[in-house]
Amino acid sequence: MDTEQVRRVRSFNRTVSQRIGVLKDHFLDRNRPLGEARLLYEIGRAGVEVRDLRARLELDSGYVSRLLRSLERQRLVRAQAAANDGRVRRVRLTRAGLREVRELDRRANVLARSVLAPLSVPQRDRLITAMAEIERLMRASAVQISVEAPDSADARWCLEQYFRELAGRFETGFDPAKSIPANADELTPPAGVFVVARLGGRPIGCGALKLKDRMIAEIKRMWVAADARGLGVGRRILEMLETRARDLGVSTLRLETNRTLEEAQALYRSCGYVEVEPFNDEPYAHHWFEKTRI
Amino acid sequence: MDTEQVRRVRSFNRTVSQRIGVLKDHFLDRNRPLGEARLLYEIGRAGVEVRDLRARLELDSGYVSRLLRSLERQRLVRAQAAANDGRVRRVRLTRAGLREVRELDRRANVLARSVLAPLSVPQRDRLITAMAEIERLMRASAVQISVEAPDSADARWCLEQYFRELAGRFETGFDPAKSIPANADELTPPAGVFVVARLGGRPIGCGALKLKDRMIAEIKRMWVAADARGLGVGRRILEMLETRARDLGVSTLRLETNRTLEEAQALYRSCGYVEVEPFNDEPYAHHWFEKTRI
DNA sequence: CCGATTATCTGACTACAGTCAGAGAATGGA
DNA sequence: TCCATTCTCTGACTGTAGTCAGATAATCGG
């Protein structure tokens, strides 16, 4: 990674946080502590339970309690016990609180507009395009991939989504019972590996390795959530699995796939997998791939 | 300005400040107050006078004093009276202070690297390109243009740069005495208008309007600093002058320019100015432009 | 029904980031 | 020379953003 790129990222961080910071000080909060404003925003028009508030903002319970007391004194929120559980308290915005949130919203808009206003129309278009690109790539960069037990809650959730996706996309539907199995044991070390990709703690993809013998392993369960595609997550999962395979001394990777999964095939090809004769009788497969000397 | 663009800017601000913020907390300061770290950074290897430090960071003198005392106690900086003025104190980093600054630097690099690391090579390139674009456009958006007296310090500095530039670019050099004059009176309301463009307080461009009669005015002294070109500053100065002219009831704008100032001519043409027969005998001019119905 | 757990609240505390009012020493200009 | 100004420092203060240790009440599980 070249130092010029590192320099650019640092410069970007500096410029952007400074510029946003300056504008924020100018337009936003003013004479409301940031903590209170954040709470107001998070409460929203529907109201929330205090414990949710705490969890979402990751704040100390005592601190939240005090902030809510302050907001209550200002008549911006009202708290009452939840209907079904007497320990839980629900807070909701009063009419004045709603007004306050709208005002904060308005100011955030003014702030955003003040960035756009001095620019010409084509400059604005370019700015928006670049901002969208940065957001996408920052999301991509925030994706974390880790080895995990295939029967963990998140892993099972991913597999469920995966099967659902296959059922929706295969022309014939998909029944796991008819497919070659890959159960939890087979995807757990030393028999195999299961990895989960996460974005902001939420699982968004998975993949697995199933060792066939000491030299050959199969790639299984490759899945990326629809709203996380185009971020290179699939490629990173595949690379992670290849690294693991290499560590295990495996030299050949194989996989089979259905003809409707075209983007997957494109990924495999671009990662150096070549189509080979069928090496198993998976009923849902149309294409078999192999990569040697990984 | 469409609301979708406003939404995008807000989303960008949120994503970026959150992502940078999280990383910052993770890598940087840790157990050094931000204020002290900023000071250390600003002192740099050469050392500075305390009053400069105060001015640059815009901090209260008492506050800076206390921060410096704290840094001295930690043996990171040393202060001593300036050689020429006994009131002024100079601070410089000790060896340990220098080490600390280098450590902060290293961590900022790690932070930047952690953004790049998970990305593929083409993704990195796209990120860097988009970051450069955002920085440029944010700089463009931070440019402020204001009407000002043509004999203010900044205005005179701009004019000096302007003349220097002309002298360097014209094939014949440039002697203001031989050119048609536009002195301070003529560029001050009600006879004319002078505007200065600034970026972060620093003047980076200027332009003027000189009224000829009630219907006609001339554009003069259009200049943009070399390091601020390509940000659309020239266009904004021109638009500002046109707005002023309109307010004064002027309907025709004229200007003359030298053949070597090609980018200026392109600007004038793209803003609706058309080339006309010479309307004066400016010795340095090769092209005369006019815009009617402004 | 009892003991553990959960959700909230209160009180006491800390660190950070400043602001404000003056004091004291050095300097510069009339 | 003297008076105003500049520069730095100290003391006293504020507001924000938390943290931590319990106390209390409601609920859950056996």
Cα–Cα distance measured from residue A204 to residue A202, given in angstroms and rounded to the nearest whole number: 6
Average pLDDT of span A249-255: 96
Q: Which of B7, B41, B137, B204 to mutate to test the interface with A (most CBs of A within 10 A)?
A: B137
Give the alpha-carbon dihedral of B183, B184, B185, B189, to 10 degrees.
130
In chain A, whose CA is at the least distance from the CA of B139? A15
pLDDT band at A294 (very low <50, low <70, confident <90, very high): confident
Res A29: pLDDT: 61
pLDDT band at A216 (very low <50, low <70, confident <90, very high): very high
Res A292: pLDDT: 94
- Tens digit of each residue's pLDDT (9 = 90 or more) over A149-171: 999 989 999 999 999 999 999 99
Question: Which residues in chain B have their CB less than 8 angstroms from residue A236's CB?
Answer: 118
SS3 state of residue A170: coil
Cα–Cα distance measured from residue A231 to residue A55, given in angstroms and rounded to the nearest whole number: 28
Res A127: pLDDT: 98
- Tens digit of each residue's pLDDT (9 = 90 or more) over B238-280: 999 999 999 999 999 999 999 999 999 999 999 999 999 999 9
Res B29: pLDDT: 62
**Is residue B272's beta carbon less than 7 angstroms from any atom in nucleic acid strand C?**
no
pLDDT band at A24 (very low <50, low <70, confident <90, very high): confident
Res A52: pLDDT: 95
- Tens digit of each residue's pLDDT (9 = 90 or more) over A48-66: 999 999 999 999 999 999 9
Res B292: pLDDT: 94
C1' nearest to CA of B79: which nucleotide?
A: D8
β strands within chain B, DSSP E: 48-49, 77-81, 89-93, 143-147, 192-199, 202-211, 216-224, 252-257, 274-276, 287-292
More confident call, A2 vs B132: B132
Chain-chain contact of B127 with A137 (C-beta, under 8 angstroms): yes
Q: Which residue has the tokens 């100065």?
A: B237
Closest-CA distance of chain B to residue A215, Å? 28
Chain-chain contact of A1 with B133 (C-beta, under 8 angstroms): no
* Averaged pLDDT of chain A: 93
Res B95: pLDDT: 96
Average pLDDT of span B90-115: 93
Question: A143-292, which class in CATH?
Answer: alpha beta
Radius of gyration of chain A (CA): 25
DSSP B152: S
Largest Cα–Cα separation, chain A: 74
Average pLDDT of span A14-22: 85
B290 C-beta neighbours (distance < 10 Å), count:
17
List residues with CB under 7 Å of strand D.
Answer: A 31, 33-36, 59-63, 66, 84-87; B 49-51, 54, 61-62, 64-66, 68-69, 79, 85, 87-89
CATH for B3-118, among 2.60.40.1180, 1.10.10.10, 1.10.357.10, 3.40.50.720?
A: 1.10.10.10
Peptide bond preceding B190: is omega within 30 degrees of 0, i.e. cis?
yes
- Tens digit of each residue's pLDDT (9 = 90 or more) over B53-80: 999 999 999 999 999 999 999 999 999 9
Closest-CA distance of chain B to residue A130, Å? 5
In chain B, whose CA is at the least distance from the CA of A136? B127
Res B6: pLDDT: 96
Write down the domain spans for chain A: 3-118, 143-292
User: How many Cα atoms are found within 13 Å in the side-chain-facing hemisphere of B63?
Assistant: 11
Res B210: pLDDT: 96
pLDDT band at A175 (very low <50, low <70, confident <90, very high): very high
Res A27: pLDDT: 65
pLDDT band at B27 (very low <50, low <70, confident <90, very high): low
Burial class (CB in 10 A: 0-12, 13-18, 19+), A97: buried
Cα–Cα distance measured from residue A119 to residue B134, given in angstroms and rounded to the nearest whole number: 12
Report residue A9: phi and psi, to 5°. Answer: -60, -45
Query: 3-state DSSP: chain B helix, strand, coil percent, rounded to 5?
Result: 50, 20, 30
CATH for B142-292, among 3.40.640.10, 3.40.190.10, 3.30.710.10, 3.40.630.30?
A: 3.40.630.30
More confident call, A36 vs B200: A36
Res A200: pLDDT: 84
